[in-house]
Structures are given as C-alpha cells and as structure tokens.
Structure 1
Amino acid sequence: MSLDPRPEQSASTGDASSLPEVDRSAATRSGVSRRTFLGASVAATVAVGATAQGLRAATPAQAAPPPSSPAAVDPAAPSWLVFDHHVHSVYSPDAKYPMTTILDQAQRFGVDAIAFTEHSNKGHANVGGVFNAAREIETARAARPDLLVLQGLEWYIPGAEHATVLVAPGPATTRVLRRFELDHDGKLNGWEKPRAGTDDAAEWLVHATDAIAWLGAQKSAGVVDDVIVLANHPSRLGIDSPGELRAWQDADPEVFVGMEGAPGAQAGAIAANATERSRRGEYENAPSEFSFTGYPAEAYLTHGGFDWTTAVVGGVWDSLLSEGRRWWVTSNSDLHLKESDSTRVGDFPTGPGWEAGATLANFDRAGRRPDPVTTATPQNGADFWPGEFSRNHVGAVDRSSAALLDAIRAGRLWVDHGHLVAGLSVVLRATGGQEAQATLGGTLTVPRGTALELVVDVVPTTTPTSRGTVPRLAHLDVIRGRVTGPAADRGDQRAPGPPGAELRAAAGRPAAPFRVVVPPEPAAEDGYVRLRGSDGRAHGVGPFGAEGDPRAPPPYPVAPADPWADTWLYANPIFVSVR
C-alpha cells in the first residue's frame, strides 16, 4: 500500500466544533467540581490518586452515582459472543499487521466481534490515520457481515495508564474519537506521570474525569449511540490507584464500567526475544516515583495471567464491588506483534523528509506503518491472535454492536484463557418454587432469609487449541462478598470481610456438558457472588491467608512462564439485594 502522508478526511466526519461540551465550571457527574479538585478539598479527592498519597485526609464517604438499572434478562436468552476489545493494526506505531490479516485470524479463532483501538498519537489524529482506519473498517463490515467490527481508541488517561474507549458505529464515531483524542489525551497534551503531591496530580485527574464526562455528553446529546471506557492493564506500572479508579467511574458510571482483568501480551515470557526478565502480560516493572505507594511488589506481576487488582480475593476488585459498584473485568489480546511470527515491519519510503527505519517520525508523517514483509526468522512479539488465547464471552441479546455494548455495561461477561472451557452459564436463583433468578451482572432482589442456590453449567473444550492441547477445568471457586456501601477511604484496596473462595472440584468430569449446583444459603444481607476456575496446575495461598483463598493464582516464578500451562477463567458477579 502506498503511504500518502496527506490527511484524508471523509466528508461525513463533520466539524468537531459542533460536538457538545461539558461545562467544566459546573459540578461533574460525581458531584465534585473542578474547584473542589484544585482548591481546599484536593486532599479529599486527589490524595487517593497515584501521585498524591501525602495529601490523604479523612472525608465523608461519597457513593458513586448508580448506573441505570439494565432490563432484566432471561439467563437463557443471551447469545454469547467472543469479543476482543483491544487490538492494534498498522495504524498504531508499535504494531505491524494490516486489518485484513487480523480479521482473518480473528475469524479463524472464533471471534464474533472485534474493536480496533489504535494508540493516540499525531499520526493517528492529524495525518489521516483515524479516517483511513475508519474507511478500512467500513470495508471490513461490508465484506464480513458475520463479524462485528468497531472503531475505538487506546486513550492515555491523563496522569495514569491507558484505557479502551469503545464507540458504537455511526456517522459521528470517527470525529468524536478524533476530537476526544486531540482534546483529552494525556500523551498528546503532555499530561503524563505527574509526581506525587504536585499541582499536576490534581489538575490531570480533573482532565481525566472531564474527558469521561465529555464522552457521556456525546451519548446524552445523541451524537453517538453509545460509548464505554475500560481501564487497561491497571497494575502494570502501579500508576492507577484505587482512588483514581473510583474517580473515573464517578465521572460517569454509564461510561466507565470496569477494567481489563487480564492484560494482553500473554506470550511475553515465551516470545522469541524473551529474557529472564520477561513476564506474562509484559508486567516487568517495579515501583517508581510515579507509582501509588500503597501497592505491594507483587502488584507489578500477573497472577495466573491476570492483573493483581482482579486476582486477589478480597483485594481491589472486591473492594469496588463491596461498595455496590457495577465494576466489570474483561480480557483481550492487545495484539501488536504475534509471538514467533516471521514477518517484520515493512519499509517506509526513503528520500527527503523520511528517516531511516520504522521511526515514530515516519509513522507521524504517514499516519500508519507499511504492510509487513515476510522473513524466514521468528520475530519479536508477545501477543496471541484475537481469540487464540484470551477471550471475552459477552451475553448479548442479539448480534449487533448496540447489544454488545449494552451487555458489557450490564456485566453479562465472563473471560477465559487458553480456551479453558467452551461454554459457561452462571445463574443465581431462589429455591422453594420461587421464580426469582439472575445471571452475570444482574441483581437478584429477594426477601431476607430467602434460600439462594448457584447453578453453574459448563461446556468442556473438546477441540485442540493452537498449541495442540485440550484443556480441562480442574476446579471452580465460588467467591462471596458483602455490599456495605461507599468506602470511608477512597484509597481502599481491601474489601470488608474479606470475601472467601469456596472450592468446587470439577476434575475427572467427562468431556460432556455438566452442571455444578452450589447448595442453597439464606440471603442475610446485600452482597454478591462471583466465580473463578482454573486448570489446577498452579496455585498457592492468597495474600489474606488460606481462609480467604486457599487456591490463589500465583505470580511468576511460582507460576510457569508458559501461559498454556496455567489457565484461568473469571465470571463477573451477580448481586443480591435483600429487602
């Protein structure tokens, strides 16, 4: 493909100035104004951020604005779509595959929906990358009607890590993404990694919450049909604090709905260029001057391939759920460079204005990378193809982008690694002839004392993976937690209780669908129940002891470097409301 450095803006992109703005002088949706962030109450709101630990002060707890309640869904109604929400193509400066190659591989591995989330940068925003990518996506939708293809963005959150931004397809999608990128991106605007206790820490958190509120305003005004945001690899650098996670969701809980429970780059430790420092997820870092000081050293490693904030029973994720937050976890490939692939990055033009090699300056001039070139040598790369190893299973009521995003917001989602199981259904239901029931992400409202049983249906994997293995589920863990309301300290990273993991053996089952029924327990208080499972090959005692988690996913080097030898699944919670 010719690399034309001229921007190509489609006529339908419109004037970005027509997009609705958020009044930044007014209170944000979280009830915290810009003045509050930067004035006398900075300590109350920003001190829990990754860069302001020294400002922590006791303040009244604030509840997150509750999202609107999704319509109840019959647990048998959804179609479970495999969705990869975080994928990069040649329109990112550190990836190398054209969209057609990625889509071919995604369909090979059973993906039903995919989102291209290119990195924010000058070449993407200003040299036509975002518009040319949009045209390729439109072509792909026409050529592959059985595959849902979305355009999104990997956003550099001001003062923090990255996030996935997903916008529903529509005539304004591309211009909304570009406007958001230019006005609200931390990298493009110089709002990256503020130091502890500085004015920048306070200012940049406001930029982040403003950005989320702005996206919500585009949906509210009907400019786009839908938009959601998910925090990416939250523990990788330790710069996403629990307080920031809460603040982002408080800015608009209809928009900011959760985080990557497991990062991409799952082949990081077995890549062609792997060293003794290489780790799953490319979680190879240590605390820095920009990190939240409350995180332990093990937070910078994946645990069974999952982020520490998700993997620790009674930890950060459970602390968010215990507030009643509808905070969901996902998985993804984060495809950039396929492990052991033998194609290399293509060659940029030569001559005036071009540098030698695959430089960022060349990318910023062209707005994309050249198509790759085949070699005979395995190249560097830490990723799997979409659907090859990491999968989101999203319970959509129909096969549409609108239903897909609705289901993610509703929490009808479970994730697995290595095709650990082929299918999963989780239903919490009242016993004794009552019809009350709920599935993932739902809320079961019952009188106090109602006996509730958890019914789990598993469809085992029967076909070999790309590794040639047929995985087997060894155990399921039922994790129960209490909902006690807003945390007194927004920096909390431990749930009240904490929740406990109850082991349910699944080993030795035949390769046919089977059911596990967890005996009824009375509903005594508001709470939630969630599910975890693994192949049973690597485990240890959780950080809060065997009573809380006797079979916790361990970090490397206890866990093997090979991701196929240590696979897990996680299901989002079902809430219980006692009346």
Structure 2
Amino acid sequence: MKCYSFFNKYNGLFCLLLLALASCQQVPQAKKPDHAKRWLAGDHHVHSHYSVKWDTSVFPPAAVIGGDAKYSIPLNAQMAAHYGLSWMVITDHGGPNRAKLALEQAYPELLASRKALPDILQFYGMEFDVPGDSPGGRHASFIMPYSATEAQQLYQIESRYNGRQGVPPGPEKAEDAFMLLALKAMDALPDKPLLLANHPSRLATGFRQYHKITPQQLRDWQDTAPDVVIGMTGAEGHQAATLNPDGSTDASAIRAEYPHYPTMGGYDQMTARLGGVWDSLLSEGRHWWVTGVSDSHGHYTDGWADFWPGQYAKTYVYAEKDYQSIFAALKAGNVFVSTGDLIDTLYVDVLVKNTGRKATLGETLLVSAEDELVLRVRFRAPDGKNGGG
C-alpha cells in the first residue's frame, strides 16, 4: 500500500512548494457498509445494443438492434463490475423513433439488469443529440435520477427535443435556440436530470479552433439550466481506437477518434490546456466539472474502438453506495478522474490558516489577499494490476 501527501503553502506573491513523501493513515481495503461515504468509481457514457442503426429502405425507418453498439445492458454491467465500477449510466443515442424503442425495449432490459446485478447501480439515461445546425456533431450525456417515473420523464424529453428524433426531424431542430428550449424543459421536469457535454472538441479543426461545440455555447447552456448542465467529459472515450484486436498498435488510427486535432494524452483540449476553457469557466465562478468515460460501443478485441466500462477510464464520486448519494455527489462536483488506475482515492482540501475555514472538491472558498492558504492533497495508488494487466 502506498499513500502520499503533498502540501502547497503560499502567501501573497511568494509560493513555497513542499513536496514530502510521508506516511499517512491508509484507506481501508475492507468493504465498508453502504451507508459510509467513500470513493466509488463509475462511467456515465455507456452504449448498449439499443444504440441502433436505422434501415431507411422502409418507412418508417426500422431499428437495427446492435447496429451501432454491440452488447446487452446486463453484459455491460457485468463487465463494468468486473473492472471495479460501482455505478454506470446507459446512454444510448437516438434516431427517427428511438424514444419509443427506449421506452418499450431498452428500459425493460435495464430493469431486468438491475435485478440480476444489484451490486452495480445502473442509471437510466441517453446520449442526447443536441439540436442545432450540426447533425452528428454535438452530443451530451443525459442522466436521470433514479425514480419510479424516470422512463416516462426521459421519453418526454427525447420524443420532443432530441435533435435526431422525427421522420424527418422538424426544421426547428436545426436552430441552436431549440437546445435552449430543450434545457428549459429538462429544468422543468419533476426530477431534474444532469447533462454533460460529450467529447466537446472532437470536431475542432485545430488548437482553440472549436467547431460544433464552442465555449460560448457551453456558457449559454449552463446559464439556461444551471441545475442541469454541470460540465463535460475530459478523459474521452474510444481510447482503444489505436489497438488492433490482438492488442498490437495500429499506427494509422486516431486515439479517441479525434480526426482533426488530437487529444492531449487522451484528454480533450478544453480540459487539458492550462488556462484554457475549463480554467476559464471556473474563473467565472461556474460549477463546472469534468469526467472520464469509456463511450463504449464495442470492445477492441471484437474489432471496435473501445475498452469495457471502467477498464481504462473511471469517474470517482465521493458518496454512499445508493442512487441518490451518487447522483448528488456528481452534481456537486465531489469528483475526480483516473485513467489506467493510477489512483483510486483522492482527498483535496484548501484551508485558510488559523481560521478553520476550508473547502474540498466541488466547494467554494472565499479568501482575501491577506489570507495564508494551505493546499493539502492525499491520494492512494491501488494495489494490484490495472485493466491492461
């Protein structure tokens, strides 16, 4: 077991960084009771075989199950649990009449999966096709809180506002303003969902040359529904796109399927760049969080571009192991991301010296120029091998 401590102490313009490798209390390995808060790994962007393709040779277009993602919901959940996840969100994407398909076929399979695999909490969601003049370009993870009416509430949003819903989608869905109407409808639901922009810079044409999703659009979304829009993915999915089925590297493939401007070590440039979009949003006082996902459609060993949920990227939330606590922690930003299982525990506190005032992940601390601050970071490197062996 390895446990590390870092302290950053600064006052005014002077910064003294003390780096110490110290012994500290180890986080117990034993399973805690479910009412105890701890770091729980999850993935909020997982596709099942209900991410369909559409046969447009018939009218209305017919769903082709398994057309754009390979596995059933229970198999995804089983593999997610195998790779250490405590929670996941099924986020299948849309098409001409996917809202009906989701309600009548995908949701019953989710209920059966919850019953068969109760140790992994399985949220109901969708990959929302963002309306606007950008077909196929803008997606977001839409996550419903667990409730008896979750399916009906999601259907209400998907059937009316999803950018690809309809035969064909109405002309109003080609307008960016329609997304703001969708967000107002989400905000008015009895149980407010969460929304995070997926792969925001995937179609950027260069460094800071954003396309389809821009920083101003992200601001507009959150200004419209601040209790719904909470952030974006940082560590993107499709990280196995450069792997052949035998595990060898395909030098011609593109990591995370970013065709024009690459990720930065697997992270979207909106997150990775120091002083960039994420830092800018935080500097405005916004509660804006980043996450890590698999965006799993099919495993690379089956000829697809993905890892299993949790095999490479994990989003940790500090919560009790129940639906309400996990949802609340994700919304509050008590979150960190790990890839390759580098760490599985992280505690961050900023303290105002000699006052007792402090804040942790997702919280805000008001300070003055005269305050002396202490940054305290503790993390744990897990024992054992990661998902790659």
Q: TM-score, normalised by structure 2?
A: 0.79
| Counterpart in the other structure of 1:232 | 198
Q: Which amino acid aligns with 1:99?
A: I
Q: CA deviation at 1:390?
A: 0.3
Q: CA deviation at 1:262?
A: 1.8
| Counterpart in the other structure of 1:216 | 187
Say which of 309, 323, 332 aligns to 1:401.
323
Say which of 418, 424, 429 aligns to 2:346.
424
| Counterpart in the other structure of 2:40 | 81
Contact residue 422 and residue 460 of structure 1 kept, 8 A? yes
Q: Which amino acid aligns with 2:374?
A: E
Give SS of 1:89's match: coil
2:283 aligned with 1:308, yes or no? no
**Deviation digits for residues 509-557 of structure 1 (CA, Å, limit 9, x no counterpart):** xxxxxxxxxxxxxxxxxxxxxxxxxxxxxxxxxxxxxxxxxxxxxxxxx
Say which of 90, 95, 103 aligns to 2:69.
95
Structure 1 distance, partners of 2:351, 2:152, is 45
Say which of 406, 430, 449 aligns to 2:370.
449
2:288 aligned with 1:381, yes or no? no
Contact residue 45 and residue 295 of structure 2 kept, 8 A? yes
Structure 2 distance, partners of 1:455, 1:122, is 51
Contact residue 98 and residue 165 of structure 2 kept, 8 A? no
Structure 1 distance, partners of 2:181, 2:252, is 38
Say which of 138, 142, 146 aligns to 1:165.
142
Structure 2 distance, partners of 1:182, 1:100, is 25
Q: CA deviation at 1:137?
A: 1.7
Structure 1 residue runs of 4 or more that deviate by more than 6 Å after TM superposition:
none
Count how many residue pairs are aligned between Structure 1 and Structure 2.
325
Q: CA deviation at 1:143?
A: 2.7
Q: Which amino acid aligns with 1:393?
A: Y
Q: CA deviation at 1:427?
A: 1.0
Q: CA deviation at 1:276?
A: 4.4
Give SS of 1:458's match: strand
Structure 2 distance, partners of 1:309, 1:277, is 25
2:227 aligned with 1:254, yes or no? yes
Larger relative contact order (CA 8 Å, sep ≥ 6):
2
Structure 2 distance, partners of 1:325, 1:436, is 21
Structure 2 distance, partners of 1:462, 1:403, is 27
Structure 1 distance, partners of 2:366, 2:284, is 17
**Deviation digits for residues 483-505 of structure 1 (CA, Å, limit 9, x no counterpart):** xxxxxxxxxxxxxxxxxxxxxxx
| Counterpart in the other structure of 1:391 | 314
Structure 1 distance, partners of 2:382, 2:38, is 18
Contact residue 191 and residue 204 of structure 1 kept, 8 A? no
Contact residue 158 and residue 191 of structure 1 kept, 8 A? no
Identity %: 36
Structure 2 distance, partners of 1:92, 1:200, is 24
2:283 aligned with 1:317, yes or no? no
Structure 2 distance, partners of 1:271, 1:426, is 38
1:459-538 mapped onto 2 (5 Å cutoff): 459-468=380-389
User: Kindly tell me: are residues 263 and 191 of structure 1, through their superposed partners in 2, closer, same or farther at Cα, counting changes over 3 Å?
Assistant: farther
**Deviation digits for residues 72-96 of structure 1 (CA, Å, limit 9, x no counterpart):** xxxxx84211111010111112001
Structure 2 distance, partners of 1:92, 1:133, is 10
2:244 aligned with 1:271, yes or no? yes
Contact residue 419 and residue 461 of structure 1 kept, 8 A? yes
Q: CA deviation at 1:168?
A: 1.0
The structure number with the bigger radius of gyration is 1
Unaligned segments of structure 2, at least 5 residues: 1-35, 53-67, 204-210
Q: CA deviation at 1:447?
A: 4.8
Structure 1 distance, partners of 2:244, 2:351, is 45
Contact residue 95 and residue 336 of structure 1 kept, 8 A? yes
| Counterpart in the other structure of 1:326 | 287
| Counterpart in the other structure of 1:552 | none
Structure 1 distance, partners of 2:180, 2:330, is 21
Instruction: Indicate the RMSD between aligned Cα atoms, in angstroms.
Output: 2.1
Unaligned segments of structure 1, at least 5 residues: 1-76, 193-198, 287-299, 342-379, 469-579
